[in-house]
Amino acid sequence: MRTHRMLALGATLLAVIAACSSGGSNKPTIKVGSVGFDEARVMAEVYAQALEANGYTIDRAGIGLGARPVVAPAIESGQIELQPEYIGSRISYYDGTPTGDAAANLTALNALLAEDGLTALNYTPGVDGNAFVVTQETADEFSLSTIGDLAAVQGELNWGLPEDCPTNPLCGAEGGALEQYGITADTIAGATLLQACDTPMAEALRLGTIDVAELCSTQPDIQINGWVVLEDDLQTQPAENISPIVRNDLLAKVDRATFDKILNDVSAKIDTTTLANLYKQVAVDQMDPADVARAWLQANGFVQAPSAT
């Protein structure tokens, strides 16, 4: 009996050791993914490396997986288990109606995600949303600081708007954002339509082909050229804070309080200036997202820098 008991105990200890060495002890391998957008890729690395520093193993095959119609089904099916997401846009993906209130958006998003076994954790203070942008010279000439200021001088400006603007309620659709500001259908019809948040729109503004451009608010061109982002004084654009979305079956495998704290503490440090700078380092400075993420995490005390030898 004693021999059998010792053998059983030995087998139990071996099983425990094997579980620990294969990612057990509540620290499973986590499949991280993101859309292909540079900013999302670096944010995926930020979350991934913060988890790695706390003993998790990361599978990065899903980082830069594709556009939202590819990434959303991937996390719903379990192909990936964690992704950074723009909360307003994810609500729109589910045909919901996002608002300018980040807290309300998170509540609404979690109600939608629950149906697919997903949870959005705390969002970043930083926002990357739709931005109406002018050069400093144009802002000074026409005394522009808000989108509302554009209405009185709209006929004197050349507009650059996204290709879907005429039918997009966040842009030029009937009853949409620009109409709320008093921007007329004639102005929208006369705009140059270009791909949003892309180089041709930024180049047109830089070269003076257009005077008003719709860009993404953290787009590096804004920072590099010193352009002015006009305040959305009627709050027509949704809050596009970033939240890590996680599969509930993953959350069930981890120490939930500790896991949430790792990601929530990181998110709390990502303000809009930080977000824009991380984006710029990847998109403009051509740095590797993993290197950019590591440097930021080290600078903020989330990851220990290598000791000097």
Tens of pLDDT, residue by residue over 9-26, are 343 333 333 344 333 456
Domain ranges across the chain: 27-127+239-299, 130-229
In the chain, what percentage of residues exceed pLDDT 90? 68
Q: What is the pLDDT of residue 138?
A: 98
For the chain, the maximum distance between any two Cα atoms, rounded to a whole number of angstroms, is 95
In the chain, what percentage of residues exceed pLDDT 70? 91
Q: What is the pLDDT of residue 124?
A: 98
Q: What is the pLDDT of residue 181?
A: 97
Enter the pTM of the model. Answer: 0.76
Tens of pLDDT, residue by residue over 106-154, are 999 999 999 999 999 999 999 998 899 999 999 999 999 999 999 999 9
Tens of pLDDT, residue by residue over 239-254, are 899 999 999 999 999 9
Choosing among 3.30.9.10, 3.30.300.90, 3.40.190.120, 3.60.20.10, the CATH entry for 130-229 is: 3.40.190.120
Q: What is the pLDDT of residue 26?
A: 67
In whole angstroms, what is the distance from residue 240 CA to residue 123 CA? 9
Q: What is the pLDDT of residue 168?
A: 80
Does the domain at 27-127+239-299 match CATH 3.40.190.10? Answer given as: yes
Tens of pLDDT, residue by residue over 60-71, are 999 999 888 899
Q: Which of 52-56, 127-131, 165-169 has the lowest mean pLDDT?
A: 165-169
pLDDT band at 192, cuts 50/70/90? very high
Whether residue 258 has pLDDT greater than 60: yes
**Are 27-127+239-299 and 130-229 equal in CATH topology?**
yes
Sole residue written with tokens 């709320």: 180
